[in-house]
C-alpha cells in the first residue's frame, strides 16, 4: 500500500483526466481526502471550473468554489501525479462502431508524463480487452516504461448517473480491477477513500470491462421491450401507462417504462459489446434488436405528432410544434446523443421546424449539435402541438392553465399534446377534450 499511504500523507497526488459529468465529481470527492489535479484539454471548461462555475450542475457552483482541486489544461502538471483516473467519453462512430480516439489520445498524454511507480485506472466504458490490448501498449510506448514492472494499470467502470442526486459516487458500489493482485488491492484501497458503500474486486480487468457494457445493455434491452409494447398498444388503442400500472402490482415486475434512450451510456455501450462479439464471429440478436428499436423511437414519436396534426385538420408545414426538452434525460444539462434530436430531424422531413425549449441545455451546444435556437418557455405562444420530450421538473410542475397558455386560441380538440414520458394528468386533459397522446 505504498502509493496509497503517500496519497493520504499528501506526498503524492491523484490526477483525474477528463473533467466531464463523471470526472469532475470524482475529482471533487477525492479532493476532500487527498491532493488532486483535475486535467482536461478543453481550456474553456477548465477556466469555468477555475472561476467556480459548474457547467455540468453535478455538484454545483458552491462546491466548485470551495474545492481544492487544481484544475488545469497543462499536461505537464500530470508529472506531479502518480495515481491517474481516466474519465473521457467513448462514443461511437456514424456506423455504430466504437470510437476510441479519445481514450487512445489520453493514453498518449498520460504516457508522456508517466513516472515509475504510477497506477493508471481507466473508467471509460470499453469492450473487454481495450485496457490491456490498446491502452497499455500506448502507455508503454509513450513512457518507455514496462507495465507490471514500472507501473500498474486497472479498470473501474464509472457508474455515476448524471443528474441523479440520490445515486451518487459515494453510495454506489465501485467495481475495481487491476493488472495483478498488488495493483488490485492498492486501487481498491484508494477508491474506498470516497466510496462509502465499498468496492467489489473483479477477478480481472476484462471482467470489469464486461460488467459495465452488460449492465447498460441489460437496461437497454428491457426498455426496448417496453418500447415495442408501446408501439403495438398504440395500434391496439390501449394506453401503455395503464398496462404498466396494472402489471406493476405484481411483486416481481421490473418496472421499466418506454421512452427515448440516448446519452453517452445506455445509448452507446451496447454497440461496444456488439462490435467485439462480431469480431469473434458472433452476430448479436437480442442486443442489436433492442438497439434498433430504441434508436427508432424518435421517428415513432414524431410520426405520432404528425398524425395528430392531420387528424386535427392542421396544415402540417404551417403548424407550430413546440418541443419541451432537448437533453438526453431529465434535470440534466447533458445533450450528448439525445434522441430528441431524432424527433427534430423527423419533423424536419415533414417540413416542420419545431420550436425547442430547454432551460437546462446550453444554447451553444443546442445550436452546434442539433442546429436549433433554444426559446425561453415564457416566450412560447400560439402552439398547435406540444411535445413533452423530457421529464424536467419544470415541465412536470406546469398546471393545465399554464399548459393551455402555450397554445393558440382555438378549441381544445385542436390542441395536441404528445406526452412522451406521461408526466401530465392525462385524465384531466382528456376530460377537457385535449388531443392527448402518450408513449
Write out the catalytic residue numbers. 265
Distance CA 348, CA 305 (A): 13
DSSP letter at 349 equals: H
Element (H, E) at 15: strand 13-17
Long-range contacts from 199-205, C-beta under 8 angstroms, 24+ separation:
199/173, 199/174, 199/175, 200/173, 200/174, 200/175, 200/176, 201/176, 201/177, 202/175, 202/176, 202/177, 203/177, 204/177, 205/131, 205/132, 205/153, 205/154, 205/155, 205/177, 205/178, 205/179
Backbone angles phi, psi at 230, to 5 degrees: -60, -40
**For the chain, how big is the Rg over CA atoms in Å?**
24
Distance CA 83, CA 49 (A): 22
Burial class (CB in 10 A: 0-12, 13-18, 19+), 185: middle
Amino acid at each position: 500500500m505504498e502509493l496509497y499511504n503517500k496519497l493520504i500523507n499528501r506526498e503524492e497526488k491523484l490526477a483525474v483526466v477528463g473533467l466531464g459529468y463523471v470526472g469532475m465529481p470524482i475529482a471533487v470527492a477525492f479532493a476532500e481526502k487527498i491532493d488532486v489535479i483535475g486535467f482536461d484539454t478543453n481550456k474553456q471548461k477548465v477556466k469555468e471550473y477555475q472561476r467556480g462555475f459548474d457547467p455540468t450542475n453535478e455538484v454545483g457552483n458552491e462546491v466548485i468554489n470551495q474545492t481544492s482541486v487544481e484544475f488545469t489544461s497543462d499536461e505537464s502538471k500530470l508529472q506531479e501525479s502518480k495515481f491517474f483516473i481516466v474519465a473521457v467519453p467513448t462514443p461511437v462512430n456514424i456506423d455504430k462502431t466504437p470510437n476510441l480516439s479519445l481514450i487512445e489520445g489520453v493514453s498518449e498524454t498520460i504516457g508522456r508524463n508517466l513516472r515509475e511507480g504510477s497506477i493508471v485506472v481507466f473508467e471509460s466504458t470499453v469492450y473487454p480487452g481495450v485496457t490491456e490490448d490498446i491502452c497499455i501498449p500506448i502507455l508503454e510506448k509513450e513512457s518507455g516504461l514496462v507495465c507490471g514492472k514500472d507501473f500498474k494499470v486497472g479498470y473501474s467502470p464509472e457508474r455515476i448517473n448524471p443528474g441523479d442526486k440520490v445515486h451518487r459516487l459515494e453510495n454506489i458500489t465501485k467495481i475495481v480491477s487491476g493488472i495483478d493482485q498488488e495493483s488490485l488491492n492498492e486501487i481498491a484501497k484508494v477508491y474506498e477513500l470516497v466510496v462509502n458503500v465499498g468496492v467489489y474486486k473483479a477477478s480481472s480487468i476484462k471482467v470489469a470491462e464486461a460488467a459495465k457494457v452488460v449492465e447498460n445493455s441489460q437496461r437497454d434491452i428491457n426498455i426496448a421491450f417496453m418500447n415495442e409494447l408501446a408501439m403495438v398498444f398504440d395500434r391496439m388503442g390501449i394506453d401503455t401507462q395503464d398496462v404498466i400500472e396494472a402489471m406493476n402490482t405484481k411483486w416481481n415486475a421490473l418496472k421499466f417504462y418506454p421512452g427515448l434512450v440516448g446519452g453517452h451510456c445506455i445509448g452507446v455501450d451496447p454497440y461496444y459489446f456488439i462490435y467485439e462479439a462480431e469480431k469473434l464471429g458472433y452476430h448479436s440478436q437480442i442486443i442489436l434488436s433492442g438497439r434498433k428499436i430504441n434508436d427508432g423511437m424518435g421517428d415513432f414519436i414524431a410520426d405520432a405528432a404528425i398524425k395528430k396534426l392531420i387528424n386535427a385538420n392542421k396544415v402540417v408545414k404551417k403548424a407550430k410544434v413546440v418541443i419541451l426538452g432537448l437533453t438526453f434525460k431529465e434535470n440534466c444539462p447533458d445533450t450528448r446523443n439525445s434522441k430528441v434530436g431524432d424527433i427534430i430531424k423527423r419533423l424536419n422531413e415533414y417540413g416542420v421546424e419545431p420550436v425547442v425549449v430547454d432551460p437546462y441545455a446550453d444554447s451553444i451546444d443546442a445550436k452546434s449539435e442539433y442546429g436549433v435556437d433554444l426559446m425561453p418557455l415564457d416566450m412560447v405562444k400560439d402552439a398547435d402541438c406540444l411535445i413533452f420530450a423530457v421529464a424536467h421538473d419544470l415541465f412536470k410542475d406546469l398546471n393545465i392553465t399554464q399548459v393551455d397558455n402555450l397554445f393558440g386560441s382555438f378549441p381544445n380538440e385542436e390542441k395536441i399534446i404528445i406526452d412522451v414520458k406521461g408526466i401530465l394528468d392525462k385524465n384531466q386533459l382528456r376530460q377537457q377534450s385535449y388531443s392527448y397522446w402518450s408513449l
